[in-house]
């Protein structure tokens, strides 16, 4: 149940249940009253306190009236009068008997004592009348029963009832009702609180526990809360947050693993040329290279290994710049044909020394230009061609071709090799950071898995796109497109 509905229901319960219970209780109390008169008295107390006072002593008045009618001789018997007074005292009342002007009996106590001279004269009140008066500020009711003996002697019995003595009884009734009201309220509040508590607290506790687990880094604690209220929505949001944090944590661990792997690969890749440099330089120092030809050969090897190391370190430095998005670009308008012609010449010589053929086709119109950073674009070409060399077939000749094609508003560059090719499984991932093809990981070919991610980043920072097609065992083609620059370009300033 929604929290909102739960609160509305609570409100209705608060409004209705106490009334219902009060009614039942009142009805129950009234029915359970064995003493009918007491019940009436209680009921009347609230309706009419004067009636109550009258009713209070009605039995005694009736008896006195009977005496007056049928047996006035009883008024002479002091024992009977005394007994009657005792009976009245139980009802917070007392009597005074007056015959003629003489007071025969006074049942009043010390605390309340009526002034005899103020007593109503004979016959002043009839049997059903009640006089309300005060004696020392205490409200009293006075009833009068008149009698006569037939010999001319007349008397009156005055029945006094003190209201202040009835007060404790009233207070008791009031107390009963207040207690009942309190019990009803306590019951209603108890039911409500347990209902609200039962609907809210288990969920709050679950979420609190989950939050503590998350705080302690335990992200596998599933927050399982069922329902359709606002708290359940909150718990579900927390569960989504937990899943997200958990996924991020896993990703972080994977990234750290990849980083460690990268460092170990780079360390390994640096170690090999360094060992060669150390070996060949020692060869020169120890005089093993004892002819000028040998010495030149050793120095060349040292030079090429140093270049290899330099390239590796460059790659690492550019990688760290990619990670922090800090590649320093220097964009200038470039004549595409001229730039790739220079590239072709530079790389071609190197490749030729390794018996690798490089062909170059330019289908672009003369003067076709792009806006690019020549240094970073050279890095792109070097990385792609470097990979072609790294992943050539163990046997057979490697040949690479660079083609420049016109693709409308774009220049399309294609670099094709006839090397090992890339498997269908690896192909969608080769541009991912730190990804190394399955085969590459298991061969002696060194690599860090960052070359093509750098290439992709540079091309996309140039506003272009890159992709590849490949057939395992036949070779690969790398394509990238860059938007043409429409302004004419001054020739001569290329890589
Ligand atoms: P690295 O060469 O350091 O492993 P790269 O990011 O340069 O990392 O390349 C990613 C993967 O793509 C390589 O591990 C390799 O499996 C595959 N690959 C890239 N270029 C070629 C290519 N010309 N021929 C075959 N496989 C290639």
Q: Which pTM value belongs to this model?
A: 0.52
Residue located via tokens 């599933």? 222
pLDDT of 338 > 50? The answer is yes
| Ligand 1 touching residue 448 (CB < 6 A) | yes
Highest mean pLDDT among 7-21, 64-78, 164-178, 432-446: 64-78
pLDDT of 362 > 80? The answer is yes
Residue 263: which pLDDT band, with cuts at 50, 70 and 90? Answer: confident
Residue 401: which pLDDT band, with cuts at 50, 70 and 90? Answer: very high
Centre of ligand 1 to C-alpha 453, Å, is: 10
> What b/e string do you get for 480-494 counting C-beta neighbours within 10 Å, with b at 16 or more?
bbbbbbeeebeeeeb
Mean pLDDT of 429-455: 77
Residue 438: which pLDDT band, with cuts at 50, 70 and 90? Answer: low
What whole-number distance in Å separates Cα of residue 484 and Cα of residue 411? Answer: 6
Selected residue with higher pLDDT from 321 and 169: 321
Mean pLDDT of 364-385: 93
Residue 35: which pLDDT band, with cuts at 50, 70 and 90? Answer: low
Mean pLDDT (the chain, rounded): 85
Which pLDDT value is given to residue 217?
A: 87
CATH of 331-485, one of 3.30.360.10, 3.80.10.10, 3.40.50.1820, 3.30.565.10: 3.30.565.10
Which pLDDT value is given to residue 483?
A: 95
| Ligand 1 touching residue 466 (CB < 6 A) | no
Which pLDDT value is given to residue 495?
A: 38
Residue 493: which pLDDT band, with cuts at 50, 70 and 90? Answer: very low
| Ligand 1 touching residue 382 (CB < 6 A) | no
Q: Which of these, 348, 374, 325, 366, lies nearest to 495 by C-alpha position?
A: 374
CATH of 54-168, one of 1.20.120, 3.30.2450, 3.30.450, 3.30.200: 3.30.450
Residue 33: which pLDDT band, with cuts at 50, 70 and 90? Answer: low
Centre of ligand 1 to C-alpha 468, Å, is: 11
Bridge partners (DSSP) of residue 102 are: 99
Which pLDDT value is given to residue 31?
A: 67
Tell which one of 390, 392, 443, 472 to mutate to probe ligand 1, the residue whose CB is within 8 A of the most ligand atoms: 390
Q: Which of these, 487, 482, 478, lies nearest to 373 by C-alpha position?
A: 482
Judge whether 230-321 and 331-485 match in fold. no
Mean pLDDT of 483-495: 65
**CATH code given to domain 230-321:** 1.10.287.130
| Ligand 1 touching residue 223 (CB < 6 A) | no
Q: Which of these, 316, 380, 390, lies nearest to 351 by C-alpha position?
A: 390
Centre of ligand 1 to C-alpha 440, Å, is: 7
Centre of ligand 1 to C-alpha 430, Å, is: 6
User: Could you give the percent of the chain with pLDDT greater than 70?
Assistant: 89
What whole-number distance in Å separates Cα of residue 215 and Cα of residue 212? Answer: 5
Tell me the domain boundaries of the chain.
54-168, 230-321, 331-485
Centre of ligand 1 to C-alpha 417, Å, is: 12
Pick from 53-67, 205-219, 393-407, 470-484: least confident: 53-67
Pick from 57-71, 122-136, 260-274, 438-452: least confident: 438-452
Highest mean pLDDT among 198-202, 235-239, 488-492: 235-239
Centre of ligand 1 to C-alpha 435, Å, is: 8
pLDDT of 162 > 70? The answer is yes
Which pLDDT value is given to residue 368?
A: 93
| Ligand 1 touching residue 475 (CB < 6 A) | no
| Ligand 1 touching residue 387 (CB < 6 A) | yes
Tell which one of 258, 261, 436, 459 to mutate to probe ligand 1, the residue whose CB is within 8 A of the most ligand atoms: 436
Which pLDDT value is given to residue 494?
A: 41
Residue 165: which pLDDT band, with cuts at 50, 70 and 90? Answer: low
Question: For 270-323, what is each residue's pLDDT tens digit?
Answer: 888 899 999 999 999 999 988 999 999 999 999 989 988 887 888 788 877 877
Question: For 220-238, what is each residue's pLDDT tens digit?
Answer: 888 888 888 888 899 999 9
Q: Whose CA is nearest to atom 17 of ligand 1?
A: 437
Atom number of ligand 1 nearest to Cα 452: 6
Which pLDDT value is given to residue 306?
A: 93
| Ligand 1 touching residue 476 (CB < 6 A) | yes
Question: For 80-99, what is each residue's pLDDT tens digit?
Answer: 999 999 999 888 889 999 99
């Amino acid at each position: 149940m929604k929290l909102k509905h739960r609160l509305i229901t609570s409100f209705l319960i608060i409004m209705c249940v106490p009334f219902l219970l009060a009614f039942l209780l009142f009805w129950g109390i009234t029915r359970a009253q064995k003493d009918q008169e007491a019940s009436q008295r209680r009921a009347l107390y609230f309706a009419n306190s004067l009636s109550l006072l009258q009713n209070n002593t009605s039995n005694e008045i009736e008896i006195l009236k009977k005496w007056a009618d049928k047996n006035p001789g009883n008024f002479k018997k002091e024992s009977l009068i005394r007994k009657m007074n005792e009976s009245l005292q139980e009802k917070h009342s007392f009597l005074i008997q007056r015959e003629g002007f003489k007071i025969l009996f006074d049942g009043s106590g010390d605390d309340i004592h009526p002034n005899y001279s103020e007593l109503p004269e004979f016959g002043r009140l009839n049997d059903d009348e009640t006089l309300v008066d005060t004696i020392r500020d205490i409200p009293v009711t006075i009833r009068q029963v008149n009698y006569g003996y037939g010999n001319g002697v007349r008397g009156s019995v005055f029945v006094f009832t003190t209201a202040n003595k009835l007060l404790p009884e009233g207070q008791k009734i009031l107390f009963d009702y207040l207690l009942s009201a309190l019990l009803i309220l306590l019951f209603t509040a108890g039911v409500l609180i347990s209902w609200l508590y039962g609907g809210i607290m288990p969920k709050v506790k679950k979420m609190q526990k989950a939050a503590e687990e998350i705080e302690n880094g335990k992200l596998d604690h599933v927050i399982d809360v069922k329902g359709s209220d606002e708290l359940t929505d909150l718990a579900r949001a927390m569960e989504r947050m937990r899943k997200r944090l958990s996924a991020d944590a896993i990703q972080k661990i994977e990234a750290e693993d990849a980083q460690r792997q990268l460092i170990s690969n780079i360390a390994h890749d640096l170690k090999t040329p360094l060992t060669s440099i150390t070996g060949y330089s020692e060869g020169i120092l120890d005089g093993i290279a004892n002819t000028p030809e040998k010495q030149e050969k050793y120095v060349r090897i040292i030079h090429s290994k140093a270049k290899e190391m330099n390239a590796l370190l460059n790659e690492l430095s550019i990688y760290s710049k990619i990670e922090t998005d800090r590649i320093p670009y220097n964009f200038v308008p470039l004549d595409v044909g001229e730039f790739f012609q220079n590239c072709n010449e530079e790389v071609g010589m190197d490749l030729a020394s390794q018996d690798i053929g490089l062909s170059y086709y330019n289908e672009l119109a003369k003067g076709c230009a792009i806006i690019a950073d020549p240094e970073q674009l050279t890095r792109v070409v070097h990385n792609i061609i470097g990979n072609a060399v790294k992943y050539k077939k163990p046997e057979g000749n490697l040949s690479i071709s660079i083609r420049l094609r016109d693709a409308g508003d774009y220049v399309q560059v294609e670099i094709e090799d006839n090397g090992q090719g890339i498997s269908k499984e690896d192909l969608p991932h080769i541009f991912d950071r730190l990804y190394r093809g399955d085969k590459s990981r298991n061969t002696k070919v060194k690599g860090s898995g960052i070359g093509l991610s750098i290439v992709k980043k540079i091309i996309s920072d140039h506003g272009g796109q890159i992709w590849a097609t490949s057939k395992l065992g036949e070779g690969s083609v790398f394509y990238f497109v860059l938007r043409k620059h429409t302004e004419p370009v001054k020739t001569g300033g290329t890589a």
